Structure formats: structure tokens, C-alpha cells
Amino acid sequence: MHGWNEMVYDDKNWIGLNTGSFLLRNCQWSLDLLDAWAPMGPKGKVRTEAGKVLTSFLKDRPVFEADDQSAMVYLLVTQRDRWADKVYLESAYYLHGYWGILVDRYEEMIENYHPGLGDHRCRLVT
């Protein structure tokens, strides 16, 4: 998952990772993580109350209902022994590829990072 260890574990910053796109192994551990994460998502009172907990716990988080990103940071920090060893926070490669950051540099990136391929194939697409 795209993120930074210092921002998540040291700063408890709600924008220390990005849950927009991430890779999961198909195993029981991944299912357990999703089961621990999911309860903060339903609309209604649970989500509103969870949002208050997340806002009080996480650095610079505005007041609003629970969101997936804040909930993941909260889980990783409060249950570090259970989750952290198997969650890799990738900071050198964009997993989410927000177009606004990438569009102006597209031609440059194709030229620099795809030498020899001669086309626009992406490494994660088969």
C-alpha cells in the first residue's frame, strides 16, 4: 500500500498512506485485516462515532465520519503487533497513479522508465 512509515507509525497522520489502490495476497491474514477494517465503514451512527475516535487520535484529521484511509492508519498504529509486520508501505512507486500528478510527465516517464519495450505497456497489466 502506498505510504510512509514515519507518517503512519510515528506521526499518526491520517494522510500517511493511500488506501485507494493496494495489493492483497489471497490468504486468511488478508481476510482478517479486511474484517478488522470493515466495521468502521457502514453508514450511520457507527461511522459517525468512529469518525470522532479517528479525529481525536490522528494528527490534523478534520472532523467528519470514518473513512477507509484513517481507519487503516488507526488499525496499523493501535494494533501494530498484529498487522505491521505484514503491511509494506511503498513510498518509491505510485500504486494509485493520480492523473493530475502524472499527466504532465507522461511522455518523460514512458521514455525514462520503459526503455527497450517500445510501447506503453504497464508492468502490472498482463
The model's pLDDT over 76-124, given as tens digits with 9 standing for 90+, comes to 999 999 999 999 999 887 666 666 767 787 778 777 766 555 565 555 5
pLDDT in tens, 15-59: 999 998 888 999 999 999 999 998 887 777 888 899 999 999 999
- Please report which helix (H) or strand (E) contains residue 99, including its range: helix 99-102
pLDDT of residue 126: 44
The mean pLDDT value for 51-79 works out to 95
Inter-helix orientation angle 68-78/28-37, to 10°: 110
CB–CB of 70/61 below 8 Å?
Answer: yes
CA distance 58 to 12: 5
The pTM of this model reads 0.75
